[in-house]
C-alpha cells in the first residue's frame, strides 16, 4: 500500500510560481529577445503540464484499491468526486500544454512576441486557477489517505460493538495497538490496527469506532468506517457486549446490532460480555478487560479460527 507516499498536492499559485521560476531561467538562456519569449511560453506550459500530470499519476488508482480502502475513500470523500477532480486536473494539464504549443508556434512569425507571451501566460494562469478548488480538495484527500492505518492481508480479528463497551481496552491488552481509552462514547474515531506475534504467525487486530443500532443510512461517517472494517477485513469478528449497560446503552439495542452484524458478515462472529467485574453476563463467554479475567480465553476462542493452527494458541500466548 503506497498511500503514505502520495506527495502533497500543490495549490494553483504553487503550480504557477514553480512554472514561472523555471521559465524565467530558460528565457535568460536565449540571447534573442523573441526566442526568449517563445521559450518562456513553452517552458511555462510544459512545467504546468508536468506538475498536474504528475499529481494525477501519483494518486492511487481507486479501482485497484482493496474494497476496505475504496469504501473508506467513498465514505469520507465520495469516489466519484475524487475521480472528477482528477479528471479536471488532467483536462487542465492538456489545455495548458496545447495553449503553450499554439502560442509558441504563432510567436515564430509574430512581430510583437511580448504581447503574445503575456496573452499565453494569462490563458495558462486562468486554466490553472480554474482547478484550484480541485487541487485543494485532492490535497485534503491525500492528507486523509496518508493517515489511514495499514491493513494487511493476514488473519484478522475485527473488534466491534456499541460505543464505550471496552473494545479499545481489549485490543490494548492483546496487541501492539495503543488506542485511547475513555469513559465516553466515540472515543475511537477511526479504525486502529494492532498486531500480535504467535509463534511465527502475525495476527492482526482491528479496533473500530462504536456503532449504534440504527438504519445504515442514518449512521455517521465514523460508524460507517467501522462497518466497512467489519464487512471487508475481518476473518473473525469479536462483538463486545456491555451487559452492565454502564456504557450508556441498553443491552437489547446491543443485541440488535449483534444480530445485524451476524446477518451482514460472511465470517464467524463471537459475542463476548465484557465488564464481568461489575456485571456478569449470561449466555455468552465473559471477560473483564479491567481485571484481565477471561481475556486470554477469549483470545484463544478467536485464534481457533486461524486456518493453520499448529498448536493451541493458549500455549503460545501464556
Ligand atoms: N468496570 C470495567 N470497566 C471497563 C472494562 N473495560 C473497559 N472499561 C471502561 O469502559 C470505558 C470505555 O472503554 P473503551 O475501551 O474506551 O471502550 P470502547 O468500546 O473502545 O469505546 P469507543 O471507542 O467510544 O467505542 C472506559 O472507561 C474503560 O475504563 C471492564 O472490564 N470493566
Ligand atoms: Mg475505542
**Per-position DSSP letters for 132-169, written without gaps between them:** HHHHHHHHHHHHHHHHS----SS-EEEEEESTTSSHHH
Q: Which domain holds residue 21?
A: 3-147
Residue of 167, 174, 178, 181 to test ligand 1 pocket, by largest number of atoms within 8 Å of CB: 181
Q: How many domains does the chain have?
A: 2
Regarding whether 180 and 142 lie in a shared domain, the answer is no
Closest CA to 249 of 159, 165, 169, 160: 165
Check if 286 has its Cβ closer than 6 Å to any atom of ligand 1. Answer: no
Check if 278 has its Cβ closer than 6 Å to any atom of ligand 1. Answer: yes
**Does residue 65 carry a pLDDT above 90?**
no
Regarding whether 192 and 91 lie in a shared domain, the answer is no
Regarding whether 107 and 125 lie in a shared domain, the answer is yes
Regarding whether 161 and 138 lie in a shared domain, the answer is no
Question: End of a domain among 121, 147, 173?
Answer: 147
Dihedral (Cα; 148, 152, 189, 76), 10-degree rounding: 50
Regarding whether 137 and 199 lie in a shared domain, the answer is no
Check if 289 has its Cβ closer than 6 Å to any atom of ligand 1. Answer: yes
Q: What percent of the chain has pLDDT over 70?
A: 96
Distance of CA 166 from the midpoint of ligand 2 (Å) = 7
Atom of ligand 1 nearest to the CA of 162: 25
**Does residue 164 carry a pLDDT above 80?**
yes
Mean pLDDT across the chain: 93
By CB neighbour count within 10 A (0-12 exposed, 13-18 middle, 19+ buried), where does 183 fall?
Answer: exposed
Check if 188 has its Cβ closer than 6 Å to any atom of ligand 1. Answer: yes
Residue whose Cα lies nearest atom 30 of ligand 1: it is 275
Check if 172 has its Cβ closer than 6 Å to any atom of ligand 1. Answer: no
Check if 65 has its Cβ closer than 6 Å to any atom of ligand 1. Answer: no
Check if 209 has its Cβ closer than 6 Å to any atom of ligand 1. Answer: yes
The backbone region for 248, taken as left when phi is positive above 0, alpha when psi lies in -120 to 50, beta otherwise, is: left
Atom of ligand 1 nearest to the CA of 289: 31
Residue that the C-alpha cell 467489519 belongs to: 230
**Reported confidence tier of residue 2, pLDDT bands at 50, 70, 90:** confident
What are the DSSP calls for 202-242, one per residue? EEEEEE-----SS-GGG--HHHHHHHHHHHHT-SEEEEEEE
Check if 25 has its Cβ closer than 6 Å to any atom of ligand 1. Answer: no
Number of other residues whose CB lies within 10 A of the CB of residue 188: 23
Check if 292 has its Cβ closer than 6 Å to any atom of ligand 1. Answer: no
- Give the closest ligand to the alpha carbon of residue 179: 2
β-strands 192-198, 269-274 pairing: unpaired
Task: Take residue 2 and report the three cell numbers written for it.
Answer: 503506497
**Does residue 318 carry a pLDDT above 60?**
no
Atom of ligand 1 nearest to the CA of 240: 19
| Residue 243 CB contacts under 8 Å (≥ 6 apart), including other chains | 251, 273, 275, 279, 280, 281, 282
Q: What digits encode the pLDDT tens for the residues 108-157? A: 999 999 999 999 999 999 999 999 999 999 999 999 999 899 999 899 99
**Does residue 308 carry a pLDDT above 80?**
no
Q: Say how far residue 271 (Cα) sits from the centre of its chain.
A: 28
**Span of 60-64, 81-85, 152-156, 258-262 with lowest mean pLDDT:** 60-64
- pLDDT recorded at residue 62: 84
Residue whose Cα lies nearest atom 14 of ligand 1: it is 166
**Does residue 311 carry a pLDDT above 70?**
no
- Give the closest ligand to the alpha carbon of residue 286: 1
- Distances in Å between the alpha carbon of 151 and those of 14, 50, 195? 34, 32, 10
Regarding whether 266 and 138 lie in a shared domain, the answer is no
Regarding whether 166 and 86 lie in a shared domain, the answer is no
**Does residue 309 carry a pLDDT above 70?**
no
Regarding whether 295 and 191 lie in a shared domain, the answer is yes
Regarding whether 169 and 132 lie in a shared domain, the answer is no
**Reported confidence tier of residue 92, pLDDT bands at 50, 70, 90:** very high
Where residue 54 sits, what CATH number does that domain have?
Answer: 1.20.120.1190
Q: Average of pLDDT values for 170-194?
A: 95
Q: Average of pLDDT values for 170-180?
A: 96
**Does residue 31 carry a pLDDT above 60?**
yes
Where residue 244 sits, what CATH number does that domain have?
Answer: 3.40.50.300
- pLDDT recorded at residue 4: 84
Distance of CA 158 from the midpoint of ligand 2 (Å) = 12
Check if 173 has its Cβ closer than 6 Å to any atom of ligand 1. Answer: no
Regarding whether 221 and 95 lie in a shared domain, the answer is no
- Give the closest ligand to the alpha carbon of residue 164: 1
Q: Which helix (H) or strand (E) holds 105?
A: helix 79-107
Check if 182 has its Cβ closer than 6 Å to any atom of ligand 1. Answer: yes
Whole-model pTM: value is 0.87
Distance of CA 169 from the midpoint of ligand 1 (Å) = 6
Residue that the C-alpha cell 486456518 belongs to: 307
**Bridge partner list, 246:** none
- Distances in Å between the alpha carbon of 51 and those of 18, 94, 98, 129? 9, 11, 15, 14
- pLDDT recorded at residue 307: 77
Amino acid at each position: 500500500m503506497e498511500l503514505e507516499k502520495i506527495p502533497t498536492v500543490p495549490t494553483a499559485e504553487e503550480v504557477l510560481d514553480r512554472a514561472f521560476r523555471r521559465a524565467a531561467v530558460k528565457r535568460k538562456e536565449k540571447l534573442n529577445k523573441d526566442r526568449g519569449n517563445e521559450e518562456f511560453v513553452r517552458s511555462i506550459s510544459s512545467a504546468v503540464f508536468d506538475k498536474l500530470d504528475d499529481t494525477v499519476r501519483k494518486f492511487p488508482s481507486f479501482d485497484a484499491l482493496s474494497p476496505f480502502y475504496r469504501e473508506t475513500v467513498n465514505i469520507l470523500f465520495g469516489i466519484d468526486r475524487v475521480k472528477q477532480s482528477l479528471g479536471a486536473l488532467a483536462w487542465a494539464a492538456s489545455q495548458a500544454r496545447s495553449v503553450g504549443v499554439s502560442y509558441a508556434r504563432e510567436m515564430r512569425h509574430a512581430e510583437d512576441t511580448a504581447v503574445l507571451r503575456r496573452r499565453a501566460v494569462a490563458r495558462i494562469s486562468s486554466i490553472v486557477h480554474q482547478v484550484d478548488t480541485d487541487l485543494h480538495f485532492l490535497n485534503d484527500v491525500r492528507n486523509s489517505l496518508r493517515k489511514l492505518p495499514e491493513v494487511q492481508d493476514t488473519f484478522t480479528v475485527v473488534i466491534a460493538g456499541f460505543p464505550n463497551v471496552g473494545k479499545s481496552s481489549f485490543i490494548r491488552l492483546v496487541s501492539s495497538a495503543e488506542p485511547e481509552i475513555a469513559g465516553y462514547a466515540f472515543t475511537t474515531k477511526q479504525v486502529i490496527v494492532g498486531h500480535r506475534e504467535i509463534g511465527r504467525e502475525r495476527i492482526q487486530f482491528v479496533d473500530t469506532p462504536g456503532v449504534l443500532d440504527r438504519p445504515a443510512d442514518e449512521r455517521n461517517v465514523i460508524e460507517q468506517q467501522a462497518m466497512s472494517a467489519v464487512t471487508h477485513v475481518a476473518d473473525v469478528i469479536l462483538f463486545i457486549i456491555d451487559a452492565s449497560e454502564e456504557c450508556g446503552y441498553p443491552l437489547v439495542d446491543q443485541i440488535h446490532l449483534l444480530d445485524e452484524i451476524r446477518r451482514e458478515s460472511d465470517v464467524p462472529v463471537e459475542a463476548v460480555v465484557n465488564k464481568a467485574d461489575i456485571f456478569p453476563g449470561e449466555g455468552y463467554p465473559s471477560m473483564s478487560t479491567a481485571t484481565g479475567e477471561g481475556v486470554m480465553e477469549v483470545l484463544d476462542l478467536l485464534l481457533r479460527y486461524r486456518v493453520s493452527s499448529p498448536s493451541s494458541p493458549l500455549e503460545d500466548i501464556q
